[in-house]
């Protein structure tokens, strides 16, 4: 990075954060601090919902996922449009009519306080842990870019987001989201344009897509019924539906974004905007990864994309195996490049037999190259058993740093930062709000009337969660693939929380005791299954939700019959 990159990066990030803090510096009303201005339109809501969900991990890890496994991950989002329709039709009207600050207040009114605290507690546990992982992602990037210490970057980015989120609350979060999304759109468009321009002459988008497809990177719809496959049409439709429904319907970081609307119409339009845009957007980000895969097949990929980690060993006293595997990989890369050229030439001539032969040769060359990348990881682990071998998160940032012109590098690093700050801000805002409304005000009901004190307390809790997230991020190095780590964590808890809400909406005879104990039992079941079974993690959303609903109905029936037995004896 040179001076131009630094000006773009620092100017963008500090500028947006300062703008958010300055514009909201006079907020004193609890309603505005926690819900934002009621004049918020659907565009702001839509972008804010999108910015909350799309963290730095989205732009860092998903292209890497496209590079490594192809675009199949897009199926993860297939349940999202239907989930948002259900949220619009069922959840949203109820939240707005009751005028709640948090989704869990609704549980308190529908059931009882212990169920409300359970829902809020599961949210704080799950989101509180995930928030540490999301702050860790941009720190990896800057650590690779600047060679700075990871822990210092975590602390500085954490402090920046804490500053404006604590000062302006929900209003500052929504305001900054709009500008952060503008930076993200500009940056990703720049990356796509540069990537297409850098593809070798004669390859172009069509040729690159054909190569990616032939090497299995464009399988966007998998109808397999194998439960061990992580991403299929069915896991996306069913598991993804439950994951999205619980995330958008019951996760306060999202609920807080869309209850801010001027009217029910604005909130609904903001959500429908996301229902239409999210899958195409994820497809484009994954496609960037698939095209990067082809780009690196042609120019020759490094044997391991986390070059800082690789070079640390390759330049050390035991460099022998590293140099040897690098040399073999260079030969395999050259073979792959030549095989790709031969296949493209055969395709151009229209000779079916030659095309089939060269295609088989290309697939074989790629298989050997991939095997050598796997071997390189084994060499790395042999040298350092604690080394992180998943290098796909470094693919996109490597492209940015080595292929983009100056200025654009700063912009793309700003994209990662903007995405990290936007999702982090919404999460801190939600954590602070839930702690204040569902726990602090519950324990101190007399303090509820003192609005200024409530705002002060909400600010303190937001800051406290920010400090916790920073502390957790400092120990988050275990996460091999960041996006999956967050989704797995969410899938373990979200299903049960969604089950509680679905019981609240649709099983009107079920009371607080039944749903509370059913939720505790369902959560224990999911945790036991996660540690003992080997199935796609998206299924835990469905299992947790179904277990909570079925157990609630059974327990309610049991409690009802016990009450009927007790009644005559009391008489």
Partner 1 sequence: MSPALPPDPPSDVEPPGLPGFRSWRAVYVFVLGWFVLVVVFLALFMRIFS
* Nearer to partner 1 among residue 80 and residue 166 (C-beta): 80
Closest CA to 363 of 224, 215, 534: 215
**Reduced to 3 states, what is the DSSP secondary structure of residue 7?**
helix
Using the minimum distance from each CB to partner 1, give the nearer residue, 26 or 508.
508
Give 93 or 227: the residue with its C-beta nearer to partner 1.
Answer: 93
Q: Measured over all CA atoms, what is the biggest interatomic distance in the chain, rounded to whole angstroms?
A: 94
Nearest approach, Cβ of residue 19 and partner 1 (Å): 31
Nearest approach in angstroms of CB 80 to partner 1 is 8
* Integer Cα distance of 479 and 321 in angstroms: 27
Residue 264 CB neighbour total at 10 angstroms: 15
* Nearest to partner 1 of 93, 128 (CB atom): 93
Closer residue to partner 1 in complex, CB, 267/422: 267
- Residue 168 or 511: the one with the smaller Cβ distance to partner 1 is 511
**Which CB, 159 or 276, lies closer to partner 1?**
276
Provide the token pair at 512: 């607080």
| Shortest CB 263 distance to partner 1, Å | 8
Q: Are 291 and 208 contacting, i.e. CB atoms less than 8 angstroms apart?
A: yes
Nearer to partner 1, 275 or 397 (CB): 275
**Minimal distance, residue 490 CB to partner 1, in Å:** 22
With CA atoms as reference, report the closest residue to 211 among 221, 225, 223, 200. 200
What is the smallest separation between the CB atom of 516 and partner 1, expressed in angstroms? Answer: 11
Using alpha carbons only, give the angle 307, 281, 193 rounded to the nearest 5 degrees.
60
Q: How far is the CB of 201 from partner 1 (least distance, A)?
A: 20
Burial of 466 (0-12, 13-18, 19+ CB in 10 A): buried
Number of Cβ within 10 Å of residue 231's Cβ equals 25
Q: What's the chain's Rg over C-alpha atoms?
A: 25
CB of 469 to partner 1, least distance (A): 34
Instruction: Return the structure tokens found at 472.
Output: 């957790």
Instruction: Give least dist CB 342 to partner 1, A.
Output: 19
Q: Determine the 3-state secondary structure of 369 from DSSP.
A: helix
CB 328 within 8 A of CB 373: no
From the centroid of its chain, how far is CA 75?
Answer: 14
CB of 240 to partner 1, least distance (A): 12
User: Residues 6 or more apart from 56 whose CB is under 8 A from it?
Assistant: 134, 137, 138, 141, 416, 417, 419, 420, 423
Tell me the sheet residues that pair with 40.
261
Residue 101: CB minimum distance to partner 1, A: 19
Q: Which residues 6+ apart lie within 8 Å of 532 measured at CB?
A: none
Q: Which is nearer to partner 1, 108 or 301 (CB)?
A: 108
| For partner 1, the closer CB: 54 or 420 | 54
Check if the beta carbon of residue 439 is closer than 8 Å to that of residue 431: no
Select 345 or 375, whichever has its Cβ closest to partner 1. Answer: 345
Closer CB to partner 1, 466 or 499, in the complex: 499
- Give the ranges where 300-407 is alpha helix by DSSP (H): 307-314, 320-349, 352-383, 395-403
Contacts for 93-100: CB closer than 8 Å, 24+ residues apart? 93/264, 94/505, 95/255, 95/259, 96/259, 96/264, 96/267, 100/259
Please report how close the Cβ of residue 90 comes to partner 1 at its closest, in angstroms.
Answer: 8
Report yes or no: 164 and 462 within 8 Å, Cβ to Cβ.
Answer: no
Residue 183 vs 195, nearer CB to partner 1: 195
Q: Which is closer to partner 1, CB of 129 or CB of 507?
A: 507
CB of 482 to partner 1, least distance (A): 25
Least spacing, CB of residue 230 vs partner 1, in Å: 17
Q: Please give the structure tokens belonging to residue 459.
A: 């600010």
Structure tokens at 203: 């390859």
Nearer to partner 1, 242 or 493 (CB): 242
N-term to C-term CA, the chain: 82
Q: What is the CB neighbour count within 10 angstroms for residue 244?
A: 29
8 Å CB contact between 292 and 396: yes
Give the interface with partner 1 as residue ranges (CB under 8 A). Answer: 74, 78, 81-82, 84-85, 88-89, 92-94, 97, 109-112, 209-210, 212-214, 216, 218-221, 233, 263-265, 268-269, 272, 275-276, 279-280, 283, 504, 508, 511-512
Paired tokens of 419: 């995405």
CA distance 345 to 353: 13
Place of tokens 């492209």: 399
Compute the CA torsion angle 221, 225, 229, 231 (nearest 10 deg).
30
Find the shortest distance in angstroms from Cβ 75 to partner 1: 9
Q: Least Å distance between CB 213 and partner 1?
A: 3
């Amino acid at each position: 990075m040179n001076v131009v990159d630094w000006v773009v990066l620092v100017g963008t990030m500090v500028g947006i954060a300062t703008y958010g803090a300055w514009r909201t510096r006079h907020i004193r009303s609890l309603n505005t601090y926690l819900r934002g201005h009621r004049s918020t339109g659907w565009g702001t809501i839509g972008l804010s919902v999108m910015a909350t969900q799309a963290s730095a991990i989205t732009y860092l890890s998903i292209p890497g996922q496209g590079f490594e496994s192809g675009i199949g991950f897009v199926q993860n989002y297939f349940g999202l449009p239907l989930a948002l329709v259900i949220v619009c039709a069922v959840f949203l009207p109820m939240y707005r009519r009751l005028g709640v600050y948090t989704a869990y207040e609704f549980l308190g009114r529908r059931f009882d306080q212990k169920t409300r605290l359970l829902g809020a507690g599961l949210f704080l546990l799950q989101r509180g842990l995930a928030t540490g992982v999301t702050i860790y992602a941009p720190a990896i990037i800057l650590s690779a870019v600047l060679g700075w210490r990871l822990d210092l970057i975590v602390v500085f980015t954490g402090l920046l987001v804490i500053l404006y989120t604590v000062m302006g609350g929900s209003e500052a979060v929504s305001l900054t989201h709009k500008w952060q999304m503008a930076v993200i759109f500009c940056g990703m468009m720049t990356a796509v344009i540069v990537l297409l321009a850098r593809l070798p002459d004669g390859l172009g988008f069509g040729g690159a897509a054909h190569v990616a497809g032939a090497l299995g990177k464009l399988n966007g719809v998998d109808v397999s019924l194998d439960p061990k496959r992580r991403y299929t049409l069915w896991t996306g439709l069913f598991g993804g539906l439950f994951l999205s429904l619980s995330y958008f319907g019951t996760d306060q970081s999202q609920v807080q974004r869309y209850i801010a609307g001027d009217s029910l119409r604005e909130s609904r339009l903001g959500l429908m905007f996301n229902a239409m845009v999210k899958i195409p957007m994820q497809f484009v980000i994954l496609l960037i990864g698939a095209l990067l895969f082809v780009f690196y097949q042609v120019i020759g990929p490094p044997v391991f994309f986390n070059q800082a980690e690789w070079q640390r060993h390759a330049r050390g006293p035991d460099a022998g195996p590293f140099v040897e595997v690098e040399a073999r990989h260079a030969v395999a890369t050259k073979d792959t490049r030549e095989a790709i050229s031969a296949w493209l030439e055969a395709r151009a001539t229209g000779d079916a037999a030659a095309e089939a032969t060269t295609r088989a040769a290309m697939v074989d060359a790629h298989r050997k190259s991939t095997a050598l990348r796997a071997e390189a990881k084994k060499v790395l682990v042999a040298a350092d058993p604690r080394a992180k071998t998943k290098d796909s998160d470094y693919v996109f940032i490597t492209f940015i740093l080595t292929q983009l012109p100056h200025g654009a590098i700063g912009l793309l690093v700003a994209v990662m930062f903007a995405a990290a700050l936007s999702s982090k801000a919404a999460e801190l805002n939600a954590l602070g709000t839930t702690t204040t409304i569902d726990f602090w005000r519950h324990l101190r009901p007399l303090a509820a009337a003192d609005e200024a004190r409530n705002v002060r307390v909400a600010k303190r809790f937001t800051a406290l969660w920010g400090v916790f997230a920073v502390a957790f991020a400092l120990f988050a190095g275990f996460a091999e693939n960041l996006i999956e780590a967050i989704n797995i964590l969410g899938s373990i808890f979200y299903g049960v929380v969604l089950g509680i809400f679905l019981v609240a909406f649709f099983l009107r005879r079920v009371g607080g005791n039944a749903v509370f104990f059913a939720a505790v039992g369902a959560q224990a079941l999911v945790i036991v299954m996660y540690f003992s079974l080997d199935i796609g993690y998206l299924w835990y959303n469905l299992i947790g939700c179904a277990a909570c609903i079925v157990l609630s109905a059974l327990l309610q029936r049991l409690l009802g019959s016990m009450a009927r037995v007790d009644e005559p004896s009391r008489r």
